[in-house]
Amino acid sequence: MTLTLTLTLTLTLNAAMVYLLAAAVLLALLFAHARRALPREVWLAGGAGLLLLLSLGGGIGFFSGLLLWGLFLGGAAVMLTPAWRMRWLSAPLLARIRKALPPVSATEREAIDAGTVWWDAQLFRGDPDFGKLLATRPAALTAAERAYLAGPVEELCAMLDDWEITENRDLPPAVWNFLKEKKFFAINIPQRYGGLGFSPAANSAVVLKVCSRSSSAGVTVMVPNSLGPAELLLHYGTEEQKNHHLPRLAAGRDIPCFALTGPWAGSDAAGMADSGVLTEVERGGAKVLGFKVTCDKRYITLAPVATVIGLAFRAHDPDGLLGGGDPDLGITCALVPHNAPGLSLGARHRPLSAVFMNGPIRGDEVFVPLDWVIGGRGGIGKGWRMLMESLAAGRAISLPASGVAMAKLACAATGAYARVRRQFNLPISKFEGVEEVLARMGGTTYAMDAARRLTLAALLQGEKPSVISAMVKFHLTEGGRRVVCDAMDIHGGRGICAGPANYLAAAYQQLPIAITVEGANILTRSLIIFGQGAMRCHPFLLREMAAADGDGGDALGEFDRVLCEHLGYTAGNAVRAFVRAVGGGFTVKVPSAAGPSERKYYRRVARWCAAFALLADVSLLLLGGALKRKEKIAGRFADALGHLYLCSAALKIFHEDGAPEEDRPLLAWACEHSLAEVETALRDVLHNFPSRAAALALRLAAAPFGFRPSPPADGIGAKIAALMTTPGPARERLVNGIYRSADAADVTGRLEHALSAVLHAEKVEKRLRKECRTQPVGVAFETWVKSLAEEGALSAEEAAQLTAERAAVFAAISVDEFDPAAG
């Protein structure tokens, strides 16, 4: 009796689940039909659901089935009848949203609207078009840009001695003059104003190469070409301002800086306390309108040597001199000469061991005429939008390039060092522990450079990708930190002894600078990437917010229309995520150009994009404005979105480079690692989701077989370690773009010289080991080699090879020594 009852109950519950599943599928079809877009996954799921219904639906009684179908048809009637839907669904939901929606300030609105969306939107929405991705035009350099890299940039790098720069706390005068003469501060200034007029790709390439030689010199070059007065003038300045300032900046007669951050406004720059009060003063017998600005700024790069300062402040018009209205005019940007009365600068900060010029700027009632405001009178109050739009592009160039420079330098140096450094009669690269770290370095660097190049391609198309710029700033500076730390681990004592021979110390010490500036990485991850990404990339969220903000007669109607589309989008994503999870992405349209080994990665990216889109959308629907305060969950969504971008970038660049066979291990590591990170992030989102019931339902839809993140296989890592320690096309592509000296006496050149010597002598050493000839204890290496030559075991040429190898390796692994008396 008990068994019979149990079986009956089980069958009833199973059949009920079947009916519910079929009802969900039919609802998905209805919603998708409302959107007039039915992906193939929806029709496949619809057919499967109906077959299940026909084959299994009889497991429950007639009246139970009738009740379930009644509920389903009642819900469908409400959804498909506009008047009923607006009364019972849209109107209550709109009232709830209006009550829960936090007020959006003007500065927040400007930040949301700044920039554009691109590939990030496709990833966010769950159904990326890989054909369009692969068709994106590469970020190629022009002949003039290549010549500049091969000429002045190489010449500059040869002039730089990072140890000397650090010891003297400044760039040499000859370097400063060279930077001005060769227009390093005018990379992005058009030629008509005397600048170079180079592309973002060239800007990135210059910063990358210079940073690989000296980060202090690299920062000095990058700041005027990133978020600086020139960039703001080009986009927002008046013609008079452009014609006055840009030629002076291009010729190096003026050194610019931009003052934004202060003691009370760091990451929350919009909350600055610096203010300018509009007033009227007597000048030359005429009355001049302007702002009396009081400010306290810090961390301003180039401030101690700047001659023209971009200054951000909050403008006020308490006396209504501009015609009344709100006295708070908003954040405003102006260009102020360094000798303006009341302005104080020249003191220096010391950001760790970096010696680029950086310091505070203070002002006490500095008079700023309206024609100093960027954009003139029309630019008053537009400063925050100017900054956000410029940052959307600038942040995608300089800091990512510096992060990639550090990673490529670390890979080049560590690959060579691990091959020439021997312990226990083996190169340390042969030890699996070292091999594992080399693989992580190489795979991470490959993904980083791919993301840098893909982002530059977007910029060349005219995009200002605010979300992507935040992602690459975060992931490429964090990646640089991880790779350099790995390099230090492999170098051991060689890496921690400071001196002219240390090529890693400066990068290691200064890593926190890139992590901190232009949006601290912690807040970039937890607030900006997913927060701004949700607002910009989601197809309906901004429209729903606009409808909720509206008070017109058709506000409810507009909200209802958007809501229907949104629900269809959600249902479509749910079905797409489930079908791709069950089928392994077999429905995904993979580019025909993709080889067999890449096709699985395209499918997996698409599969996890659909899961991400579903989880993100439902989180926004259920949590609403509360998600803004769930920074841990938002941070995990940011991790998933960022790694989807890194993985798709790696696939794009592998295709762009001609799918070289030697690079397959790097591609495989980058994709496997990023996809494991995506899976881990989404798993942790659900593990910590506030609603356990919703988490369970989402897990069943997005990952019905569970989450099983798996790191790259050991075999892939072994191949990467081998290519990093052996000169060849793959190694050259991996470290391409950094400065590499052929001088055996150079700090990095001696490593490449030692690697060449080791490989040149390898056959001789292998033969000696086979003949069981080893250096006797207590006998100098040179004496032993000489005795072998005298015995006839070595030719004179072979003896010279071994002696040269020994000297080259010793120079490469040696550390600096200092005389205590020298201080």
- The one-letter amino acid code at 738 reads I
pLDDT at 390 over 70: yes
Which of 160 and 264 is assigned the larger pLDDT? Answer: 160
How high is the pLDDT of residue 36? 46
Residue 214 corresponds to which tokens in the numbers above?
A: 């000296």
8 A C-beta contact, residue 480 and residue 407: yes
How high is the pLDDT of residue 56? 47
pLDDT band at 160 (very low <50, low <70, confident <90, very high): very high
pLDDT at 60 over 70: no
Closest C-alpha among 419, 428, 430, 426 to residue 760: 419
Catalytic residue among 41, 110, 518, 805: 518
| Interatomic CA distance for residues 171 and 358, integer angstroms | 13
For residue 294, the cross-strand partners are 275
pLDDT at 381 over 50: yes
Q: Which residues contact 269 (CB under 8 A, 6 or more apart)?
A: 260, 261, 312, 387
How high is the pLDDT of residue 404? 97
Query: pLDDT digit string (tens) for 668-707?
Result: 999 999 999 999 999 999 999 999 999 999 999 999 999 9
How high is the pLDDT of residue 54? 42
Q: How far apart are the first and last CA of the chain?
A: 94
Which of 646 and 29 is assigned the larger pLDDT? Answer: 646
Query: pLDDT digit string (tens) for 514-565?
Result: 998 888 899 889 888 998 888 888 888 887 777 777 665 577 777 778 887 8
pLDDT band at 622 (very low <50, low <70, confident <90, very high): confident
Which of 250 and 2 is assigned the larger pLDDT? Answer: 250
Continuous H helices in 348-499: 383-394, 398-420, 432-460, 466-491, 493-496
Give the CA angle between residues 205, 644, 269 to the nearest 5°. 65
pLDDT at 9 over 50: no
Q: By mean pLDDT, which of 443-452, 559-568, 612-621, 632-641 is the weakest? A: 559-568
CA distances from 398 to 45, 162, 448, 520, 798 (A): 46, 20, 14, 15, 48
**Residue 291 three-state SS:** strand
Query: pLDDT digit string (tens) for 433-454?
Result: 999 999 999 999 999 999 999 9
| Interatomic CA distance for residues 281 and 290, integer angstroms | 8
| Interatomic CA distance for residues 262 and 300, integer angstroms | 9
pLDDT at 394 over 80: no
Which of 269 and 820 is assigned the larger pLDDT? Answer: 820
- What's the rounded mean pLDDT across residues 155-179? 95
Q: Which residues contact 136 (CB under 8 A, 6 or more apart)?
A: 454, 457, 458, 461, 652
| Interatomic CA distance for residues 50 and 56, integer angstroms | 10
How high is the pLDDT of residue 13? 41
DSSP one-letter code for 373:
B
How high is the pLDDT of residue 46? 52
pLDDT band at 621 (very low <50, low <70, confident <90, very high): confident
- What's the rounded mean pLDDT across residues 234-239? 93
What does the mean pLDDT of the chain come to? Answer: 87
Secondary structure (DSSP) of 589-620: ---TT--HHHHHHHHHHHHHHHHHHHHHHHHH
pLDDT band at 265 (very low <50, low <70, confident <90, very high): confident
How high is the pLDDT of residue 326? 83
Please say if 656 is a catalytic residue.
Answer: no
How many distinct helices (H) and strands (E) make up the chain?
35, 9
Q: Best-predicted range by mean pLDDT among 281-290, 475-484, 622-631?
A: 475-484
Torsion, Cα 286 289 295 299, to 10 degrees, reads -90
**Residue 772 three-state SS:** coil
| Interatomic CA distance for residues 386 and 331, integer angstroms | 10
| Interatomic CA distance for residues 671 and 644, integer angstroms | 9
pLDDT band at 228 (very low <50, low <70, confident <90, very high): confident
pLDDT band at 290 (very low <50, low <70, confident <90, very high): very high
How high is the pLDDT of residue 468? 94
Q: By mean pLDDT, which of 257-271, 595-609, 628-642, 735-749 is the weakest? A: 257-271
Q: How much of the chain exceeds pLDDT 90, in percent?
A: 62
8 A C-beta contact, residue 23 and residue 50: no
pLDDT band at 45 (very low <50, low <70, confident <90, very high): low
| Interatomic CA distance for residues 277 and 194, integer angstroms | 36
DSSP one-letter code for 90:
I
For residue 367, the cross-strand partners are 292
- What's the rounded mean pLDDT across residues 578-603? 89
Q: By mean pLDDT, which of 3-17, 282-296, 659-673, 675-689 is the weakest? A: 3-17
- The one-letter amino acid code at 239 reads E
